[in-house]
Amino acid sequence: MQLNKNQEKVDFLEVFFNSIRGLDYGVIDIDNNLRGDIKNDIDIWVSKFSIEILVKKLQVLATSKGWLIKKMNVSPRIGPAAEGKYALAFINNPEIVIQLDLWVCFHWRGVPFTNSNLNSAVIEFQNYKKINNKSAIFIQIIKDIIYNGKLSPKVIRRIEKVGLNTDSAYQVLEGCFPNSFINMINNNDLYDISSKETKLEIVKNFVKNRLPLKLFLFIKYATRFLHTRIISQQGIHVVLVGPDGCGKTTVGDLVFKSEFVHDYYEKRERMHTRFKIIPALATVLSIFKTKDKNHKINMREVKPVSVFKSVVYPSYYSLDYFLGHFWKYSKYTNGGCYVQFDRYFSEYYIQPVFKNTPKALLNILKNFVPKYDLIILIEDSPESIHSRKKELSLGEIKTQIKKYRALIESDNNGYAVQNSGDPKIAANEILKLIIKHEMQKKGIV
């Protein structure tokens, strides 16, 4: 399976690089992975004169080859609008995802730390163009020091493999750092270079060289930074439901940790039932030292609580969902977040402990609850579910399954997935539903 997954990536990238052979770009691939085990997040340095054409070819090719493509609006760039990170998911297999990170200019806070002399560092390598290893290593050194504060073991290994060369440093760093700084790197004084010092050198050259241009780039960066923090980037909100024992945790883990969710979305968030922005009601009541030992309600209890409690609890927690609406949309920044819930507000309609809650009240409160994109029932036979967890009677499990089915059948975004065998199969079906939803958003299906 891993071989087939990788081969799909190799085949697509080979066609892609052949289609852009005449453009000015260079892949940063020190380990020469693009012909072997392809890892995601492939960094490509692209000329500002080629970026628009390159992205257009990428989009056309992805569509024609059955790949879902989107631009992740993350790490604000200072070049043309097409610059950025692109995620590509293979529609026929949600396990296959490629990330292409296209850079016109490597920068820190809008201040460039590479020059525009791209072609001097580019070499032909197999079926694509790449930045020669001796130049590429300096880009990775600076990125590591700036963003991680120190060199990662991976970059250290690459330094040992490639070595350092002043001429190669000048190819990509000249004009962004003084010669003394480049020589310091080249003399293997890497562990003496601090992140603060590196940033200071970049800012010094920001002020010293072509200040009007650098100020323009900083303003562009600041504007795009605010855009990524304020404007929704269309993430996805998935809810998994079903009786205890149906496999929500197991299947949910497989979905949440999948390559698709990890690489097609910039961030991931997983929660249980609610957002937990406000404290549990039991905690609030404990302030008043209530003597009622039953003020903490277990969702899985079969015995209904009083009408008073069945009204107070959903009313109180609806505030958590209301605040979660704003939290959720803040998570849509940075390229879109994958938000997954195991259970949701709908449990108030299902669980027998809230049997006395007026449905009219729930229908009002749900208007304050963030609307999910997909609600998925994980199904299995009542007998199989009961064999895994015996907290509920077989009869109660059958009743809950009936209610869950009615819930998803009444919802245009509701689906059911069977989990009667290998949980990986159920997880894969859920991923296919997520991809289908993403395609619908783009008007593909």
Domains, in order of start, for the chain = 2-224 (no CATH), 236-441 (3.40.50.300)
Residue 1, pLDDT score: 47
Fill in the amino acid letter for 323: L
Alpha helices (runs of H) in 331-358, residue ranges in sequence order: 347-350
pLDDT digits (tens, 9 = 90+) for 43-73: 999 999 999 999 999 999 999 999 999 998 7
Residue 124 pLDDT class (50, 70, 90 cuts): very high
Residue 329, pLDDT score: 64
Rounded to whole angstroms, the Cα distance separating 54 from 77 reads 17
For 85-154, the DSSP string reads EEEEEETT-TT-EEEEEEESS-EETTEESS-S--GGGEEEETTEEEE-HHHHHHHHHHHHHHHHSS--HH
Rounded to whole angstroms, the Cα distance separating 120 from 69 reads 31
Residue 301 pLDDT class (50, 70, 90 cuts): low
Rounded to whole angstroms, the Cα distance separating 104 from 24 reads 11
- Here the tokens at position 11 are 């085949």
* Measured CA distances, 377 to 87, 245, 406 (Å): 28, 12, 11
Residues contacting 1, CB < 8 A, separation 6+: 95
Residue 340, beta-bridge partner list: 238, 270
Measured at the CA of 406, the angle between CA 400 and CA 408, to 5 degrees, comes to: 105
Report the DSSP pairing between strands 42-46 and 97-103: parallel
- Here the tokens at position 30 are 């020190």
The Cα diameter of the chain in Å comes to 79
Residue 290, pLDDT score: 55
Rounded to whole angstroms, the Cα distance separating 45 from 26 reads 5
Residue 300, pLDDT score: 64
Residues contacting 338, CB < 8 A, separation 6+: 235, 236, 238, 256, 261, 264, 265, 267, 268, 269
Average pLDDT, the chain: 88
With b for 16 or more beta-carbon neighbours within 10 A and e for fewer, the 204-218 pattern comes to ebbeeeeeeebeebb
Looking at residues 4-22, what average pLDDT do you find? 91
Q: Is the pTM of this model over 0.75?
A: yes
295 has a pLDDT exceeding 70: no
144 has a pLDDT exceeding 80: yes
Could you count the other beta carbons within 10 Å of the beta carbon of residue 322?
17
Q: Are 327 and 374 in contact (CB under 8 A)?
A: no
Which residue do the tokens 């970026």 mark? 51
